[in-house]
Amino acid sequence: YLARQPSLRAVLRDPRGCEGLTGLVEEQVRVCQRQVEAMDAVKRGAELAVEECQHQFHSRRWNCSTLQGLQVFGKLAIQGTRESAFIHAISAAALAFAVTRACSRGELEKCGCDHKIRGVSPEGFQWSGCSDNLPYGIAFSQAFIDNPERSRSVSSSQALMNLHNNEAGRKALLAHMKVECKCHGVSGSCEVRTCWKVMPPFRKVGNILKEKFEGATEVHLKWVGSRKLLVPKNSRFKPYTAHDLVYLSASPDFCDQDSSRGVFGTSGRQCNRTSPAMDGCELLCCGRGFRTAQAEVVERCSCKFRWCCAVKCKQCRHLVEVHSCR
């Protein structure tokens, strides 16, 4: 819901304010009431999560379309699976990213740059400038996304799985902070170098979490001493780390539509006739075969540089074969 809103400002002017936002649970409404100015950043985080998820899975049977029209931060259509693990991780990371970016841009009253990073580094450069305040973004993400899980039942296997994957998403962002620097000196020399920390491009976070998705660990709930913990279902597997994704149940094949689980199936999806990978017609269409049709494509062609300073192109039309699953 948040990702589909053109702007939250009009919604939040409603007398009910935060309570009028569809899809928020009680704990999230309270966060909204405390920090109304942050809700546009929450919306951007939701949009970023959907966009990145659909980019990472665009050629697979499950292409993240189940997120559209559903609560990105609420109840998910595919509970307990590795797809659910990825959605939780990318959503938690995207919210931390968006709120941190809003801090650095001066959009939020309660935060700004991270001024705790000061002094001279072991490498000899001076910490200065506006370091991204990721600790604030992470704390906001934890309050907004984790607290609803904790209020359910922190001992339930589903809550433990979601909380672990939320944190794994944020750790993927935190672990890949990078340093940017600027040189100061006469004639471009670097007598003094000032540096600050910035977040990585979010595409990098998405790529990392997609790799974690591929290597996710299946787990089950087990008493370990006096605590309930998630442990690998196969005892021969090495223990997972805080950076890894975990899941509780095997995924459906996503071949056929199942409205009760938010699965749209692959019928009508375009496929690559010659590819042996997941985007190939054999795998994507689940053995049902595919249809081939002709489609007209318009492209720029015969481009020439004209002095000065423009490029003039013709429009060329040609037919291509388009393959789609039966």
DSSP code string of 172-188: HHHTT-EEEEEEESGGG
Contact 1, 45 (CB under 8 A): no
Contacts 24+ apart (CB under 8 A), 227-234: 228/155, 228/160, 229/160, 230/157, 230/160, 230/161, 230/164
pLDDT digits (tens), the chain, 326 positions: 565 555 666 556 665 678 877 778 888 888 988 888 899 999 999 999 999 999 999 999 998 875 555 444 434 457 899 999 999 999 999 999 999 999 999 999 889 887 777 777 666 666 777 889 999 999 999 999 998 888 766 668 999 999 999 999 999 999 999 988 888 877 667 777 788 889 999 999 999 999 999 999 999 999 888 888 999 998 888 889 999 999 999 988 999 987 776 678 899 999 999 999 999 999 999 999 999 999 999 999 999 888 878 888 999 999 999 999 99
299 exposure class (CB count in 10 Å sphere: 0-12, 13-18, 19+):
exposed
Classify domain 281-325 at the CATH superfamily level.
Answer: Wnt (Wingless and Int-1), C-terminal domain (3.30.2460.20)
pLDDT at 20: 76
* CA angle at 63 for the pair 47 and 175, rounded to the nearest 5°: 60
Amino acid at 117: I
- In the chain, where are the structural domains located? 2-107+137-168+202-257, 281-325
Q: Which residues are paired to 228 by β-bridges?
A: 223
Return the ∠ at Cα 20 (arms to 19 and 22), rounded to 5°.
Answer: 100
Parallel/antiparallel/unpaired status of strands 126-127 and 192-198: parallel
pLDDT tens readout for residues 156-213: 899 999 999 999 999 999 999 998 888 887 766 777 778 888 999 999 999 999 999 9
**CA angle 75-76-78, nearest 5°?**
140
- CA nearest to 28, candidates 84, 85, 95, 104: 95
What is the token pair recorded at 73? 């931060």
3-state secondary structure 136-147: HHHHHHHHHHHH
> From CA 297, how far away is CA 318, in angstroms rounded?
6
Helix, strand, coil share of the chain (percent; to 5): 40, 20, 40
Distances, alpha carbon 229 to alpha carbons 11, 83, 155, 216, 224, in Å: 41, 21, 8, 17, 6
* 101 within 8 A of 306, measured Cβ to Cβ: no
Residues in Cβ contact with 162 at an 8 Å cutoff, skipping those fewer than 6 apart: 84, 88, 149
| DSSP state letter for 258 | B
Cα–Cα separations (whole angstroms), residue 141 to 10, 96, 322: 23, 5, 42
Query: For residues 88 and 165, is the Cβ–Cβ distance under 8 A?
Result: yes
Find the helix or strand (DSSP H, E) in which 224 lies.
strand 217-224
**Which pairs from 29-32 meet CB under 8 Å and 24+ separation?**
31/140, 31/143, 31/144, 31/147
pTM above 0.75, yes or no: yes
